[in-house]
Amino acid sequence: MNRLVVVSNRVPTATAGAPAGGLAVALDGLMEKRGGLWFGWSGAVAASSGGICVRHDGGVDYATIDLTQDEHDRYYNNFANGVLWPLLHTMPELMQFDRRDARVYREVNARMAGALLPLLRPTDLVWVHDYHLLPLAAALRARGVSNPIGFFLHVPFASADVLAAAPEVGALVRDMLAADLLGFQTENDLANFAAAAELFAEARRLPGNALEVGHRRVRLGVFPVEIDPHGFADLASAMARSPEAMRLRRSLHGQHLILGVERLDPTKGLLQRLGGLRALFEQSPKWLRRATMLQIAATSRKDVASYRALRDSLDREAGKLNADLAEADWQPLRFVSRAVNRALVAGYLRHARVGLVTPLRDGMNLVAKEFVAAQDPTDPGVLVLSRFAGAAQQLTGALTINPHDAHEMADALDRALAMPLAERCERWQACWAAIENRSPLVWGRSFVAALLRATTISAVPDLPLRANDQAKPPTIGTDMVLVEPRHLPIMLPDVVNLN
């Protein structure tokens, strides 16, 4: 089996374990099962850029580098999270562009490519993740790496006219095209990327989700990130009986729980959500004292100005909501900004009557899928979900809403809180059916299989992959060679696991 080399900004560390968030959930299981090399940032900031630290755990080698303070500020805080994150989430008004940050972002990517180079073997499959590393494939190619390279974007890809707001982005789109396969969460993200590639890189669309760029062909694909639904369901059912979860349940005194869980992030629509909650109690006062909301919004990226500003606004709004509506022995909102561990969140989700997941824009949103998996199938809660979350494409049993419309959110909350058991079960079944046979492992394997296909027989779109399909460079039409002849030896196990 070809060794898998995953490259991501965050890497699980010996002390802190897996980092929070969707990327870790998606990759942890795959790497545990398959083994390989996981390369990226150690999570530490050091006085000077030192060497690589390698740690072996299970079947995985974790190789990490530290960032200097300047790199952390400019690459991670200012450019990745201060420019690319808002831009890709179609919130360009939050972006603070500075050319020096863009330069350091590129330098860190180049340094990562240089550090990874000596660790690579000729038959490795390289899989790069997320917006921190958009130019990494190009930086590897510039150093002579001819291995198959796949790239997966965990966040949305905005439309080309939004992206044009950051001067650097055209060049980044061109760099992304150095990969052989580019994966996205939804069809919409893929279409936005293809349009940006046409605009910024003079790429030409080919049938079957491919782009022709110069004499090369780059494949595009949609690979929605998944959770382990059965594992999460078991966890939720066990943790719902934990002392902490039982304490939450007792504190409700029979009221319905509306639950929101995320990082405190401008894309999550937290202020709008408080507006929706206020509208619920104002429009439908029957829920006063009969429902309450717990919002867990774990503090995140607090060195980025827009995150600090959001925290201040949320503190103000949450305080005002409670001050306006609370009574001596009841309050509409409990607001927690401490991170709560994932197992306990699973238990809380099972006790919730409503899962309120209303991002203004989100690549996928795994909390939406976790809410579904955590429910008791005989008495499930209802998911109220933003139509701008990638998960809305799959979870068709949810009540989908526009997160900018407080009244629509309030109507959906009212409907969810009052929903009869039969309809709750029917909606939950539809959501469960969309996730029950999927897993991070299946997701990862399908990406790896597509990467192998893209680099071995990439000019023949739907031909089934065979072990000996390595022979000659593929062509389209009569004599136009569309891919570089990078034909690595394929080891069969990857090929047969095409699920």
Q: How many residues bind ligand F6P (CB under 6 A)?
A: 10
Token output for 290: 């009969």
Taking the least distance from each CB to ligand F6P, the nearer of 272 and 300 is: 300
Cβ proximity to ligand F6P: between 77 and 446 the closer is 77
Query: Which is nearer to ligand F6P, 339 or 430 (by Cβ)?
Result: 339
362 belongs to the catalytic site: yes
In the list 106, 174, 301, 361, the residue contacting ligand F6P (rule: CB under 6 A) is 301
Q: Pick from 4, 5, 6, 23: which binds ligand F6P (CB under 6 A)?
A: 23
From residue 420 to residue 459, the character string flagging contacts with ligand F6P as x (rule: CB under 6 A) and all else as - is ----------------------------------------
7 near ligand F6P (CB under 6 A): no
CB atoms within 10 A of CB 214: 11
CB nearer to ligand F6P: give 41 or 335: 41
Given a contact cutoff of 8 angstroms between Cβ atoms, the answer to whether 368 and 255 are in contact is no
- To the nearest whole angstrom, how small is the minimum distance from the Cβ of residue 453 to ligand F6P? 25
Q: What part of residues 24-43 is at the interface with ligand F6P (CB under 6 A)?
A: none
**HEC sequence for the chain:** CCCEEEEEEECCECCCECCCCHHHHHHHHHHHHHCEEEEEEEEEEECCCCCCEEEEECCEEEEEEEEEHHHHHHHHHHHHHHHHHHHHCCCHHHCCCCHHHHHHHHHHHHHHHHHHHHHCCCCCEEEEECHHHCCHHHHHHHCCCCCCEEEECCCCCCCHHHHCCCCCHHHHHHHHCCCCEEEECCHHHHHHHHHHHHHHHCCEEECCCEEEECCEEEEEEECCCCCCHHHHHHHHHHHCCCHHHHHHHHHHCCCEEEEEEEECCHHHCHHHHHHHHHHHHHHCHHHCCCEEEEEEEECCCCCCHHHHHHHHHHHHHHHHHHHHHCECCECCEEEECCCCCHHHHHHHHHHCCEEEECCCCECCCHHHHHHHHHCCCCCCCEEEEECCEHHHHCCCCCEEECCCCHHHHHHHHHHHHHCCHHHHHHHHHHHHHHHCCCCHHHHHHHHHHHHHHHHHCCCCCCCCCCCCCCCCCCEECCCEECCCCCCCCCCHHHHHCCC
CA-to-CA separations, 424 to 69, 290, 415, in angstroms, rounded = 50, 19, 11
Give me the least distance between CB of 388 and ligand F6P, in Å please.
Answer: 15
Of 333 and 366, the one with the shorter C-beta distance to ligand F6P is 366
Select 176 or 399, whichever has its Cβ closest to ligand F6P.
Answer: 176
Q: Closest distance between ligand F6P and the C-beta of residue 30, in Å?
A: 14
21 binds ligand F6P (CB under 6 A): yes
Among 22, 82, 86, 359, binds ligand F6P (CB under 6 A): 22
User: Which of 130, 175, 180, 362 is the catalytic position?
Assistant: 362
- Told to check if 469 binds ligand F6P by CB under 6 A, we report no
Nearest approach, Cβ of residue 79 and ligand F6P (Å): 12
Q: Least distance in Å: CB of 19 to ligand F6P?
A: 6
- Tell me if 154 contacts ligand F6P by CB under 6 A: yes
Residue 25 or 279: the one with the smaller Cβ distance to ligand F6P is 25
Q: How far, in Å, CA of 224 to CA of 25, rounded?
A: 13
The region of 19-27, 106-114, 175-183, 417-425 touching ligand F6P under the rule CB under 6 A is 19-27
The verdict on whether 215 is a catalytic residue reads no
Instruction: Please tell me whether residue 10 binds ligand F6P under the rule CB under 6 A.
Output: yes
Cα 283 to Cα 333: distance, rounded to the nearest angstrom: 17
Residue 235 binds to ligand F6P (criterion: CB under 6 A): no
481 pairs with which residues across the strands? Answer: 475
Task: Name residues contacting ligand F6P, limited to 178-197 (CB under 6 A).
Answer: none
Which pair of tokens denotes residue 187? Answer: 């069809």
CB 434, min distance to ligand F6P, A:
21
Binding status of residue 391 toward ligand F6P by CB under 6 A:
no
Q: Determine which residue in the list 84, 104, 139, 155 makes contact with ligand F6P, applying CB under 6 A.
A: 155
Residue 170: count other Cβ atoms within 10 Å of its Cβ: 16
Instruction: Choose the catalytic residue: 89, 129, 154, 487.
Output: 154
Stretch that binds ligand F6P, among 18-26, 61-69, 337-345, 444-452 (CB under 6 A): 18-26
Residue 89 as a binder of ligand F6P (CB under 6 A): the answer is no
CB of 290 to ligand F6P, least distance (A): 33
φ/ψ of residue 222, rounded to 5: -105, 125
25 burial type by CB count under 10 A (0-12 exposed, 13-18 middle, 19+ buried): buried
> Would you count residue 130 as binding ligand F6P (CB under 6 A)?
yes
Q: Which residues are catalytic?
A: 154, 362
Binding site residues, ligand F6P, CB under 6 A? 10, 19, 21-23, 130, 154-155, 300-301
